[in-house]
Amino acid sequence: MSGRDVVLARVRRALQDVPRGEGPKDPPVPRDYLRVHGSRTPAESVNLLAENLVDYRAIVHRSEPGELDMLIMRLLAERGAETVLVPPGLPPSWMAAADPVRIHDRAASTPRELDAVDSVVTGCALAIAETGTLVLDGGHAQGRRRITLVPDHHICVVRVPEQVVDSVPQALERLAPARPLTWISGPSATSDIELGRVEGVHGPRRLEVILLAG
């Protein structure tokens, strides 16, 4: 017998107390928990997102479309970034004012090459207000997973209010399981040393979020 047959046979024997008529959709799951906690206008949801992001030590900026390129330029300059990763599909206008050398993530680039890059600028799939979470799904303006992981500085642009959902249930129903998802709530952090929070062990130590209106 294969391991598969052994395990499945054991499972079936273990479940002899389950009545034959009971289907996999039984017993029922009570779904009377809330879809959203509280009611908010779109603007209030954006404010809550900003508040929760800051609470988790992300740095939050607000921008109008016309000034986005200048803001990105300034944030990169403040970090002294000389090179910046840009995913395919990033609107060129976002980077119109930026000085650093743009690096494109190619399949052939090794993780070590990416490690030498200072910053990365991306969009996102959506953001969750109640938890202060950004979700990336590899779609438009986000690129491969690794580009938001290896560089130490991540600038993420969220279009508000349309990319903002209120809650985790609302987020999941908008996301496709087949895509590789990365949920980000604040910068990398550890509490492993005497429970004191330290930012940044492996992921980016600095997360800047730009809430882009309009």
- Report the site for other proteins in 88-117 (rule: CB under 8 A): 107, 110-112, 115
User: Which of residues 6, 43, 96, 101 is near other proteins by CB under 8 A?
Assistant: 6
User: Which of residues 74, 138, 139, 140 is near other proteins by CB under 8 A?
Assistant: 138
> Considering only CA atoms, which of 177, 163, 92, 168 is closest in space to residue 125?
163
R_g (Cα) of the chain, nearest Å: 21
In the structure encoding, which two tokens stand for residue 9, read together?
């046979």
Cα dist from 152 to 26, 62, 102, 115, whole Å = 47, 22, 16, 8
Name the strand (E) or helix (H) holding 70.
Answer: helix 68-78
Q: Is 59 in the site for other proteins (CB under 8 A)?
A: no
Q: Is 208 in the site for other proteins (CB under 8 A)?
A: no
Q: Across-strand partners of 101?
A: 83
CA distance 37 to 15: 38
Cis amide prior to 27 (ω within 30 degrees) = yes
User: Which of residues 14, 20, 39, 66 is near other proteins by CB under 8 A?
Assistant: 14
User: Which of residues 104, 179, 213, 214 is near other proteins by CB under 8 A?
Assistant: 179
Q: If DSSP codes are grouped into helix, strand and coil, which group holds residue 155? A: strand
Please name the residue that has the structure tokens 């399981």: 177
User: Which of residues 18, 70, 96, 101 is near other proteins by CB under 8 A?
Assistant: 18
CA distance 94 to 79: 17
Please name the residue that has the structure tokens 């944030």: 75
CB of 134 to other proteins, least distance (A): 10
- Report the site for other proteins in 139-178 (rule: CB under 8 A): 144-146, 149, 168-169, 172-173, 177-178
CB of 117 to other proteins, least distance (A): 13
User: Which one of 27-35, 63-71, 83-91, 157-165 is the stretch in contact with other proteins (CB under 8 A)?
Assistant: 27-35
CB of 162 to other proteins, least distance (A): 21
Q: Is 73 in the site for other proteins (CB under 8 A)?
A: no
User: Which of residues 84, 128, 165, 211 is near other proteins by CB under 8 A?
Assistant: 128
Nearer to other proteins, 76 or 129 (CB): 129
CB of 157 to other proteins, least distance (A): 19
CA angle 185, 135, 210 (to 5 degrees): 75
